[in-house]
Amino acid sequence: MIRFLLSRTVQGIFVVLGVLCITFLLLRLAPGGPFQSERAVEPHIRARQEAHYGYDKPWFIQLARHIAGFATFNFPPSPKLKGMGVEEVIAQGFPISTAIAIPALLIALLIGVPLGTIAALRPNQLEDRGAMLLATLFICTPSMVLGPLLGMLFGLRLRWFNASGWYSADDWVLPAMTLGIIYSAYIARLTRGGLRETLAQDFIRTARAKGASLASVVFRHALKLACLPVLNYLGPTTAGLLTGSIVVETVFQIPGLGQHFVGAAVNRNYELAMACAAFYALLIVGFNLLVDLIQAILNPRIGFRS
């Protein structure tokens, strides 16, 4: 297990470094710059600004400076953030995104797992076709459509929640419902496929032949293995939810991390964009490692393979 953890940690470090390098190169190749504005700036003033923030150095020195800053948590200052560091922006946006992500994940699991289980237990029947039709409908409905519909119904018509903004304690409900409903469709399809495959295995038929009830076989034996594809899906999905859904945060005007990420890329805020990308990569690596550990525990045949 120690070897497994060390191997995954080293791989994760290289992944984060790769994300930093790719993000840095893409930002530098994009037109514009952090000091570009509508007003004309004197060349000597721009040269002084670039020298102050280290933009006059060769690109590989700038990249090394960013990597060293992220590794030591001494983040380089950004010319776009006056009086704030990139860590403060992430610290402000991340709790808001988390307040939406956790309920959205719970909603997705509470809808998707039962829906997929019902479909798997009644294959090619009305329950299966109805559940998969509903899941397909949720998958094909983009968040930019579902979000405004929920906002119009529950916010403008019924006036149960605010249609947009982050003002009240229940402003997380509509964004979380939007994300939870959409992701529940993927979980339902994965649960159905995993459970159907598990129910066809020999040890399930043996348990049924010994007189075990269907409920006992499903909930004590089959679901434990059937949830492995769902766990694989939940790793990157949870990281994506925690770092903010860009579309949903835009629709509901939520000041989460996704909004900061988009704003940093549009405004050429190199430091914040790289910090958000590295933070996202770090979350994906961490959750994938957690998923691998849970899978090894649930299925000993997988084991801790490095």
Q: Domains in the chain, ordered, with CATH?
A: 93-298 (1.10.3720.10)
Contacts of 280 (CB under 8 A, 6+ apart): 19, 239, 240, 243, 261
111/125 Cα distance (integer angstroms): 20
pTM: 0.78
pLDDT at 32 over 70: no
Lowest-pLDDT choice from 11-20, 132-141, 215-224: 215-224
pLDDT at 88 over 70: yes
Q: What is the structure's pLDDT at 110?
A: 92
Percentage of the residues of the chain whose pLDDT score is greater than 70: 83
Q: Compare 47 and 194 and report the one with higher pLDDT.
A: 194
Q: Is 272:78 a contact under the CB 8 Å cutoff? A: yes
CA distances from 188 to 99, 105, 119, 121 (A): 23, 13, 8, 13
14/17 Cα distance (integer angstroms): 5
Q: What is the structure's pLDDT at 72?
A: 80
Question: Which one-letter DSSP state was computed for residue 152?
Answer: I
pLDDT in tens, 127-176: 888 888 888 888 888 888 888 888 888 888 888 888 888 888 888 888 89
Q: Compare 47 and 271 and report the one with higher pLDDT.
A: 271
Q: Model confidence at 107, in pLDDT bands (50, 70, 90)?
A: very high
CA distances from 135 to 34, 36, 186, 267 (A): 44, 46, 7, 38
Helices (H), 34-125: 43-53, 59-71, 86-121
79/244 Cα distance (integer angstroms): 24
Q: Is 108:184 a contact under the CB 8 Å cutoff? A: yes
Q: Compare 32 and 21 and report the one with higher pLDDT.
A: 21
For the stretch 231-262, what's the b/e string if a residue is b when 16 or more beta carbons lie within 10 angstroms of its beta carbon? bbbbbbbbbbbbbbbbbbbbbbebebbbbbbb
